[in-house]
Amino acid sequence: MDEPHGHTLGGLPLELFSTEQSIPEHHHGLGEPGVAPYARGIHRTMYTQRRWTMRQYAGFSSASATNERFRLLLDRGQKGLSVAFDLPTQLGLDADDPLSMGEVGRVGVSISTLDDMRELLEGIPLDRVSTSMTINAPAIVLLAMYIVVAEEQGVSSEAISGTIQNDILKEYIARGTYIFPPGPSMRLICDIFEHCAAHVPRWNTISISGYHIREAGSTAAQELSFTLANALQYVDDAIARGLDVDAFAPRLSFFFNCHNDFFEEVAKFRAARVLWHDLMTERYAPTNPKSSMLRFHTQVAGVSLTAQQPLNNIARVTIQALAAVCGGTQSLHTNSYDEALGLPTESSATVALRTQQIIAEESGAADVVDPLGGSYHVERLTALMIDEVRGELGRIAEKGGALKAVEAGYQQREIHKAAFAHQRSLEIGERHIVGVNVHTMDETTSPPVQTIDADLARAQEARLKDVRARRDPGRLEAALQALDAGAKSSTNLMPLVLEAVRSEATVGEICGVLRGVFGEYTPPSGF
């Protein structure tokens, strides 16, 4: 083994080259795929029998425009939907709320009513297509809308499959689209766990997300540490609620970022599976093997995309997507090369999907299981990642767990430090980004970008007016009063939200009732 060569910037220490002696004695060792602790993958054959789900993230403007994009992507070989919602929807506001002004349909699809959800999913067979929804604070409402639309299609709640993000802790840590204080938010999450375990068994009730933690500036090890700490908090709260770990843990899923450091990212994914298996078995002793089996979706790094020389982003996305595949992801979203400039065009979204298809069909990476397993470099990085994450989890445990640490601003401050260090490394030239601080060039043209219909907000306001005029006011009032009473008690709110949705209550009205009972969250500064 040679002397240490340096560091990945903000990451794990590197060696010039690694040997068998580089791998710590306590490393789990390779083992076999499909066997605990799953370092080599959760399935015996991984992609050799069935490819990962190619799930392109889409959502912009109106429900009808997003539905059109969904149909295009499904027609071109995508296997699952992934819905982006606009900021008003994410914050539980209707499109005609004064606070929604200027944001309707801007960063995702605008959903205020059951009619909007019907239009979003029109013509899509919900018994055959898996849907992921990036929604958190109002997740209980959007899931209820999805269930009701499926029922109207003749698809039972037992037959639908998909994921709601539903990860509020990372909103407090990194992303910011929270509504309610942590206590009531955790209650809503446990209500969803409990209801879906009994009535929506194929639905992943939470996607515990490191993606946004990484986008905010964390290191790879921090991304994994904070995500796993959040996951343990959700498990603790659900068990405290009286749920059996095997009743909900098999439906927990994870969502990770994938950056340009190819080997560190592969090691991160391998370490994540080992850590989750070990943490679950050590703390909860589940009897169902799936309760300790980490399944995850990957999205390549939006923050790594550059507005300068945007076609270079195709290479970045390819490297990141290949790392996710070599790391054993279950589903994958590849960003479009023009996303640093605006919403993806039809052309750029197709290139992003084709990138995955080329990896699957032409690269050979999907033809064997864990192709990098046994690499001295990768095994060493995997062991180092496990050790570093264990250390960080210990520090969070000393603070009382993820929720207490969040309330004290610990994770927020650590991410700020890492983001500052990253930015400083760019400014002094220690870190290179092609087209930004090295290999720059004069640029006079940019690719075309997707535009948003300027009349969308007015159209959504008109749709809301029509819904409010035609619905049964007596049924609506009874449903909202029942929801208010339920929120003031300890009853499970999911059935009450479903009835509110069936009565044509809007996202804003349902969240408004919950705001009235739970209040709104004001965060610490984090500095």
* Superfamily classification of domain 4-427: Methylmalonyl-CoA mutase (3.20.20.240)
Asked whether residue 37 carries a pLDDT value surpassing 90, the answer given is yes
CA distance 301 to 295: 19
Higher pLDDT, 354 or 29: 354
Average pLDDT over residues 261-277: 97
Confidence band, pLDDT 50/70/90 cuts, at residue 1:
very low
> Is 298:258 a contact under the CB 8 Å cutoff?
yes
Q: What is the pLDDT of residues 431-452, one digit of tens each?
A: 999 989 999 998 776 666 666 6
pLDDT for the residue 439? 92
CA distance 527 to 97: 32
Q: In this predicted structure, which of 63-77, 309-323, 370-384, 459-473 has the lowest mean pLDDT?
A: 63-77
Give residue 300's region: left, alpha or beta (phi > 0; psi -120 to 50): beta
Strand order in the sheet with 130-134: 57-58, 80-84, 130-134, 162-164, 203-204
pLDDT for the residue 447? 67
pLDDT for the residue 455? 83
Asked whether residue 26 carries a pLDDT value surpassing 90, the answer given is no
CA distance 260 to 247: 37
pLDDT for the residue 62? 87
Q: What is the pLDDT of residues 193-234, one digit of tens each?
A: 999 999 999 999 999 999 999 999 999 999 999 999 999 999
Q: What is the 3-state secondary structure (H, E, C) of 358-409?
A: HHHHHCCCCCCCCCCCCCHHHHHHHHHHHHHHHHHHHHHHHCCCHHHHHHCC
Whether cis (ω within 30° of 0) applies to the bond prior to 98 is no
Which amino acid, residue 331?
S
Confidence band, pLDDT 50/70/90 cuts, at residue 85:
very high
The pTM assigned to this predicted structure is 0.91
Q: Which long-range contacts (CB under 8 A, 24 or more apart) does 30-38 make?
A: 30/373, 30/374, 30/379, 33/369, 33/370, 36/277, 36/281, 36/289, 36/292, 37/273, 37/274, 37/277, 37/278, 38/273, 38/274, 38/277, 38/293, 38/294
When the pLDDT of each residue in the chain is averaged and rounded to a whole number, the result is 92
pLDDT for the residue 5? 47
Average pLDDT over residues 175-204: 95
Parts of the chain belonging to CATH 3.20.20.240: 4-427
CA distance 120 to 118: 6
Structure tokens at 359: 């990896």
